[in-house]
Structure 1
Amino acid sequence: MLRLNPTQVVVLGFAGLILTGALFLMLPISSASGIWTDFLTALFTATSAVCVTGLVVVDTGTYWSSFGQMIILLLIQIGGLGWMSVATFLALVVRKRISLRERLLLQEALNRETLGGVVDLARRVIFITAIIESLGILILAARFTLDFGWKKGLYYGLFHAISAFNNAGFDVLGKEFGEFTSLTHYVGDPVVSLTVATLLVLGGLGFPVLMDVVRTKKLSRLSLHSKLVLLTTASLIIVGTALILIVEWDNPRTLHPLTLPVKILAAYFQAVTPRTAGFNTIDIAGLEPATQYLQVILMFIGASPAGTGGGIKTVTFAVLVLAVVTIVRGRQEVDFGGRQISWFRVFKALSIAAISFALVNAVTFILLITEGKGFLPVLYEVTSAFGTVGLSTGITPELSPIGRWLIIFTMFAGRVGPLSLAMAIWHKQAKVNVHLPEEQVILG
């Protein structure tokens, strides 16, 4: 029997979870109409939920029943935390011993370099998630109760807080404000917008960073990883907000009708949400092409390692920028904050970015042939799927079966990581101990 390595087990685990979720969503009890859902629609929705993406071919709030929505919410929670983290927590609850094999799987799932402390890390991940999501539920439930009463308010608060912290982008407000409207009704509501945006940012920072901040409480004592994450995240949000304000200021379909405070709030939210979140408070299709392209860049970069988001990750982007700066300055070592970053890390970051770039472009090329849509909407859709974002210009429900299968694959690759997926497929990893003679090639 072929023995699978940890990377392959994690990848297959996500695939198994998606298939199980799809089978549940196919059941008549899962749809609001009480009829069977076709396999492709159920699979697309389950993949989007497990991969915490948010792209949907049917409106979540109107198509699915309460049972179906809870299945989606459960898939979001497991997918956001990682199925191995959830399985480990359940094992600890029943006081089951965690074997070495399970620790290796957990190490791979949590993207840890060392095996030590992975079980304790999984426990802390669950604990932090429970605290942050509970606070989000309380705030959003209190706000939604004012509009819909306490029963709906509590349910909407629960669903959207979990969806937001896990960067999933699913919403169930379609039955209240119309299909595929997301949070556009609350564009000027600071409670909803800021609470959801905060949950998105916290989920996207990554659990190691959250624990590092809680533990050290001082910026100067943070690890190099945490400093890179916080600096890159803050820079992308600030630059994104400023550029969206500038480009969309006079756009009558987006910011122009809004007051100055609401413009700033809306621009900030739209700068945060491409970081793999998927919610929107203004019409994405109404954005200027320049803004849509800016969001494509933000979606491609994505969130941070060991968090609930996708993309190539902020640290990957930061390491590549630092490597470019190093070469331009004529220096030999990549460094930041008084610490050196190995060239192996640079090569790994370059590999992740290159594979991701190739995947996005290949899928975009095929969809341009099969879907008959414009270049930017297709690129936006594919990058949203890869970055597990969930934002769309509105073409998702119109995708052909081929297009849906390609987006399903792209969402899956974006969630498990393009490099991890490639390593899982490329089973044999030969160890080469021979050093060949070096020869120079001409670059540039």
Structure 2
Amino acid sequence: MARAQGGLLGFREFVDRTARQSPARLAVTVFLGVCGLFTLLLLAPWATATGRSVPFVDALFTAISAVCVTGLTVVPTGTYWSAWGLVVILVAIKVGGFGVMTLASILGLAVSRRIGLTARLLTASETRTERLGEVGSLVRVVIVTSTSLELVVATLLFPRFLALGQPLGEAAWHALFFGISAFNNSGFVPTQEGLAPYVGDWLLDLPIILGVFVGALGFPVILNILATRRKRHRAWTRWSLHTKLTIATSGALVVLGWLLMAALEWDNPATFGPLPTGDKLLASLFAGVMPRSAGFSTVDVGAMHQGTWLVTDALMFVGGGSASTGGGIKVTTLAVMLLAILAEARGDKDIEAYGRRIPRDTLRVAIAVVFLGATTVLVGSMLLLEITGKPLDVVLFEVISAFATCGLSTGLTPGLPDAGKYVLCVLMFVGRTGSMTFAAALALRDRRRIVRFPEERPIIG
């Protein structure tokens, strides 16, 4: 008993020390541990439908894809895994959707009964909470809010699955799975046929679209809207700048994606071509929303035009909102970059939006996030090109989908050799943890120097 208590105290001291010295490292370590745990659970023989253990690389890939809420798969989800395996995947999606810093905070609460100052700063940075005392309660609010929204989507889907002739238990299971998968932008599908049979089903597709869109907004936006919902008269004026930028940019990207998908695929005989006009509009809306980081598809992505792939690449790279279940460089990063370009074109000294001035250090972080994201995609593409020998457009699509934790695929991923699967595993993990921890680390690094060098402007462009 004493030895157990001593071991627990030692573990608590280790967690406290790591949280003080490098909370970002603690968060990544927690995420690695979670991925390892779900890999072990999927390696169990009873996790597969055949009762035979899955190869290690496939279990690892599926676990990372689920925890990083990506949705890329190397085996067919609906038929390869048993009921136990699907439950493990669903729990991994749920846990992964909380985010890196939230998971680290949960560990701090469970082990140390408190959250250290540095961990509070990082969690506040990720969730945009201004008062450090609220972080502990914020973690609980995030769990309750996300679960409630998942259940709302599941409730909307449940009657439709019943109407499609599914038994009560099966309809409830599919509704719950799709509700969690949609809100967390994971893209995992528990059915054998996927969503292809429902390409024109508005009652099934619209709740999924809604869940994906709301989940990709981010917890700061959702909580900010909930906090101001009682201010019925012009409540939107009380939204934070982050909320306004996220909603405006997200809405613009959805409309842009919808229009481009419709224009590029309208007459494609392998995708939208054979569909009636109403189904084409729904299919193009679905295809325009999913690159926000969801990964669901109602048509064969591999049969799309190359121009459509390029548009999807761009939308996936941007991804969802900050501290959301979506991936990518985040929509606020894009918004800040565009506002900076607009200010430069106008000759304005300050970057402004909605009556607020955006600090210059925010632009520096945005530039760093974009550059690191592009560099990661470049390195990943070079490695996968060397491993597979496939065309650049196919490889680039798969690499961006993995980095942006989107999950859309042209069909390359299931046939990858083990080396290629490991490359995508790293991309998914870096894409999920890298941008958040890096941005949080930069937000806390504010070096104040007494002596500053003389200013001199280099030639740009």
Q: How far did 1:361 drift?
A: 1.1
Specify the alignment match of 2:346 in structure 1. 329
CA distance in 1, matches of 2:136, 2:195: 37
Counterpart among 369, 372, 375 of residue 355 in structure 1:
372
Please report the TM-score for the alignment, with normalisation by the length of structure 1.
Answer: 0.92
Q: How far did 1:422 drift?
A: 9.2
Specify the alignment match of 1:198 in structure 2. 210
Q: Any idea what the Cα deviations from partners look like across 1:180-207, whole Å, max 9, x if unmatched?
A: xx31111010111100000000100011
1:260 partnered with 2:272: no
CA distance in 2, matches of 1:85, 1:441: 41
Counterpart among 404, 410, 425 of residue 387 in structure 1:
404
Q: Any idea what the Cα deviations from partners look like across 1:198-235, whole Å, max 9, x if unmatched?
A: 00001000111112222224222211111100100000
Q: How far did 1:112 drift?
A: 4.7
- Of stretches 207-216 and 101-110 in structure 1, the one that deviates more from structure 2 is 101-110
Query: What SS does the aligned partner of 1:148 have?
Result: coil
* Aligned CA distance change for structure 1 residues 88 and 5 (closer, same or farther; 3 Å): closer
CA distance in 2, matches of 1:422, 1:341: 16
Q: Which runs of 5+ in 1 are unaligned?
A: none
Q: Percent identity?
A: 39
Alignment of 1:259-408 (within 5 A): 259-408=276-425
Counterpart among 111, 114, 126 of residue 98 in structure 1:
114
CA distance in 2, matches of 1:105, 1:343: 20
What is the one-letter code of the residue matched to 1:415?
Answer: R
Query: What SS does the aligned partner of 1:262 have?
Result: helix
Specify the alignment match of 2:182 in structure 1. 164
Q: How far did 1:127 drift?
A: 1.8
What is the one-letter code of the residue matched to 2:294?
Answer: A
Q: Any idea what the Cα deviations from partners look like across 1:95-153, whole Å, max 9, x if unmatched?
A: 99424356456446646565231122212211211221111112222222233211111
CA distance in 2, matches of 1:307, 1:361: 24
Runs (4+) of structure 1 exceeding 3 A deviation are: 1-4, 83-92, 94-97, 101-114, 421-424, 429-432
- Of stretches 213-222 and 189-198 in structure 1, the one that deviates more from structure 2 is 213-222
Conserved in 2, the CA contact under 8 Å of 1:351 and 1:419? no
CA distance in 2, matches of 1:205, 1:39: 34
What is the one-letter code of the residue matched to 1:232?
Answer: T
Specify the alignment match of 2:168 in structure 1. 150
Alignment of 1:244-255 (within 5 A): 244-255=261-272
- Of stretches 429-438 and 53-62 in structure 1, the one that deviates more from structure 2 is 429-438
Conserved in 2, the CA contact under 8 Å of 1:386 and 1:413? yes
Conserved in 2, the CA contact under 8 Å of 1:382 and 1:410? yes
Q: Which runs of 5+ in 2 are unaligned?
A: 1-13, 230-234
CA distance in 1, matches of 2:202, 2:263: 21
Conserved in 2, the CA contact under 8 Å of 1:106 and 1:119? no
1:13 partnered with 2:30: yes
1:47 partnered with 2:47: no
Pairs aligned (count): 435
Conserved in 2, the CA contact under 8 Å of 1:10 and 1:109? no
CA distance in 1, matches of 2:113, 2:136: 11
Q: How far did 1:91 drift?
A: 8.8
Alignment of 1:47-196 (within 5 A): 47-82=64-99, 85=102, 97-100=113-116, 103-104=120-121, 106-107=123-124, 110=127, 112=129, 115-145=132-162, 146-174=164-192, 177=193, 182-196=194-208
Q: Any idea what the Cα deviations from partners look like across 1:279-301, whole Å, max 9, x if unmatched?
A: 01111011111111101000000
RMSD between superposed Cα atoms in Å: 2.4
CA distance in 1, matches of 2:106, 2:430: 25
Specify the alignment match of 1:438 in structure 2. 455
Query: What SS does the aligned partner of 2:24 have?
Result: helix
Q: Any idea what the Cα deviations from partners look like across 1:30-87, whole Å, max 9, x if unmatched?
A: 1111111121111100000000000010011111111111111111000001366467
* Aligned CA distance change for structure 1 residues 324 and 210 (closer, same or farther; 3 Å): same
* Aligned CA distance change for structure 1 residues 373 and 442 (closer, same or farther; 3 Å): same
Conserved in 2, the CA contact under 8 Å of 1:6 and 1:108? no
Query: What SS does the aligned partner of 2:279 have?
Result: helix
CA distance in 1, matches of 2:460, 2:69: 40
CA distance in 2, matches of 1:300, 1:239: 15
Query: What SS does the aligned partner of 1:273 have?
Result: helix
Conserved in 1, the CA contact under 8 Å of 2:126 and 2:322? no
Q: How far did 1:420 drift?
A: 2.4
Query: What SS does the aligned partner of 1:147 have?
Result: coil
Q: How far did 1:419 drift?
A: 6.3
CA distance in 1, matches of 2:245, 2:107: 33
Please report the TM-score for the alignment, with normalisation by the length of structure 2.
Answer: 0.89
- Of stretches 81-90 and 136-145 in structure 1, the one that deviates more from structure 2 is 81-90
Conserved in 2, the CA contact under 8 Å of 1:82 and 1:109? no
What is the one-letter code of the residue matched to 2:200?
Answer: G
Q: How far did 1:168 drift?
A: 0.4
What is the one-letter code of the residue matched to 1:151?
Answer: G
Conserved in 1, the CA contact under 8 Å of 2:47 and 2:85? yes
Query: What SS does the aligned partner of 2:357 have?
Result: strand
Query: What SS does the aligned partner of 1:324 have?
Result: helix
